[in-house]
Amino acid sequence: MNKDLSRVIEFPQEVEVVINGNEVIVKGKGNELVKKFDIGKVLLEVSDNKVTISAKGATRRESKMIGTIWACIKNMIKGIEEDFVYNLEICNIHFPMNVKQEGDEIIIKSFLGETVKRVSKILPKVSVDIKGSNITVSSCDIEAAGQTAANLEKATRLTGRDRRIFQDGIFITEKPGRKI
- The DSSP bridge pattern shows strands 50-58 and 126-131 to be unpaired
Rounded Cα distance, 171 and 127, in Å = 17
CA 74/CA 180 separation, integer angstroms: 23
Could you give the domains of the chain? 3-81 (3.90.930.12), 84-179 (3.90.930.12)
Q: What is the Cα–Cα distance from 130 to 109, expressed in whole angstroms?
A: 14
Question: Using N-to-C axis directions, what is the helix angle for 60-81 and 142-155, rounded to 10°?
Answer: 90
Note the pTM of the prediction, 2 decimals.
0.88
The answer to whether 61 touches 67, Cβ cutoff 8 Å, is no
Q: Per-residue pLDDT for the chain (180 aa), expressed as one digit of tens each? A: 588 899 999 999 999 999 998 899 999 988 899 999 988 889 999 999 999 999 998 889 999 999 999 999 999 999 999 999 999 999 988 788 899 999 999 999 988 888 899 999 999 999 999 999 999 999 999 999 999 999 999 999 888 888 788 888 999 999 998 887
Q: How far is CA 104 from the centre of its chain?
A: 17
- pLDDT of amino acid 167: 80
Using CA atoms, how far apart are residues 80 and 14, in angstroms rounded to an integer?
10
- Cα separation of the two ends of the chain: 38
Contact 140, 80 (CB under 8 A): yes
pLDDT for 1: 57
Residue type at position 130: I
